[in-house]
Amino acid sequence: MIETIARTTGAIQLISRPAGFPEPADFALVELPVTGPGPGQVLIRNLFTALDPGMLMRIGDYPGIPMPPFGIGEPLSGDAIGEVVLSGDEALPPGTLVVHRLGWRDYAVADIATVRAVDADAYDSPSTHLGPGLVAYAGLTAVAGMRSGDTVFVSSAAGATGGLAGQLARLLGAGRVIGSAGSAAKVAYAVGELGFDAAFDYHDGPVADRLRALAPDGIDVYFDTVGGEQLRAAIEVMNPGGRVALCGALARQRAGGTPDTGPGDLLPVIGKRLTLRGFTAFDHLHLAPEYGRRLREWLADDAIVRTETIVDGLANAPRALLDLVRGEYRGKVVVRHTR
């Protein structure tokens, strides 16, 4: 039966380790045989693969990250959603929609312990299950402990995670939400469409000056996806007792892995009793049901703007990932599998 479904799968491999920012030539689309599934496994036809800027740390083998680098000549991996087409376990019959980590290929064989069945009717598009909402929700609530009335600063406000974090901060009762973005058009989008109270283009001058002008009474929470100058500015403008949720390093990724100066002088962190805490969504998977319930309510009430860019075809995934890190898109970017 497997021959009638898929004998081979397209997959994106890393074929060379970039010394700086990757190029499309560092990747290749190859055909690999499909074997299985065996007992306790499922064969999945992927529908969408999520593009995540954090992948650059594994592509470039950044030192100090908790995940191993991608192997040369091996398929990349990342969040994906697909449909079970063959199953070695009756708990996940064919037709089940599952989220898993074996993206960047059209078909995947996965152990059932590594996949999560989701409701096919929960959203208009299956790709919604790949949204960064849990990261934003956990960062604001469990990590930063955002309180009603807080002034919240969010970097990369037109991006997938930052744009959603700003909207969630407003829905969770923030007194003022400020964002940064990389162009005047993105600033207008963050304020006019996503509902930020104010935003600025970080190219327009020292970030601390721009942030202080929009938050004259200081900020209480910073949701950080960028690091670098924006993190240093947030520390400078932050009120005593402020909290920083650290979930990304776009400044470093755009620089091809070259380390920046980080948070800079830590004396203000001590003097203002600030909290800087790194995290990932995997630390807070227990919040997924709570967030999913609230997201469905917010979407039903049209309280959230969901922006998604769909790139068709696995062959276009590497270039789309690099363009995403360069800031070419708004919102979540996913690849739609076409075979």
- Predicted confidence (pLDDT) at residue 39 exceeds the cutoff of 50: yes
Strand pairing category for 308-312 and 332-336: parallel
What is the reported pLDDT for 59? Answer: 92
**What percentage of residues in the chain have a pLDDT greater than 70?**
94
Average pLDDT value for the chain? 92
120 and 198 both lie in a single domain: no
24 and 102 both lie in a single domain: yes
Closest CA to 130 of 316, 337, 302, 277: 337
Residue 289 lies in a domain: no
pLDDT, tens digit, for every residue of 309-328?
999 999 999 999 999 988 88
In CATH, what number is assigned to the domain containing residue 202? 3.40.50.720
Structural domain range at position 147: 133-282
The CA distance from 84 to 15, in Å, is 29
70 and 41 both lie in a single domain: yes
331 and 204 both lie in a single domain: no
Average pLDDT in the 70-81 region? Answer: 95
Residue 290 lies in a domain: no
Q: What is the SS3 assignment for 183-216?
A: CHHHHHHHHHCCCCCEEEECCCCCHHHHHHHHCC
Residue 77 lies in a domain: yes
Average pLDDT in the 232-242 region? Answer: 97
- Predicted confidence (pLDDT) at residue 218 exceeds the cutoff of 50: yes
Buried b (16+ CB within 10 A) or exposed e, 226-246: bbbbbbbbbbbbbeeebbbbb
Domains held by the chain: number: 2
φ, ψ of residue 11 to 5 degrees: the values are: -150, 145
- Predicted confidence (pLDDT) at residue 237 exceeds the cutoff of 90: yes
- Predicted confidence (pLDDT) at residue 257 exceeds the cutoff of 70: no
Average pLDDT in the 117-131 region? Answer: 91
What is the reported pLDDT for 258? Answer: 62
The CA distance from 219 to 234, in Å, is 8
- Chain centre distance of CA 156: 11
What is the reported pLDDT for 256? Answer: 60
Global pTM value:
0.86
In CATH, what number is assigned to the domain containing residue 317? 3.90.180.10
17 and 104 both lie in a single domain: yes
Q: What is the SS3 assignment for 255-313?
A: CCCCCCCCCCCCHHHHHCCCEEEECCHHHHHHHHHHHHHHHHHHHHCCCCCCCEEEEEC
Q: What is the DSSP letter of 26?
A: G
Q: What is the SS3 assignment for 95-148?
A: CCEEEECECCECEEEEEHHHCEECCCCCCCCHHHHHCCHHHHHHHHHHHCCCCC
271 and 170 both lie in a single domain: yes
- Predicted confidence (pLDDT) at residue 3 exceeds the cutoff of 50: no
275 and 320 both lie in a single domain: no
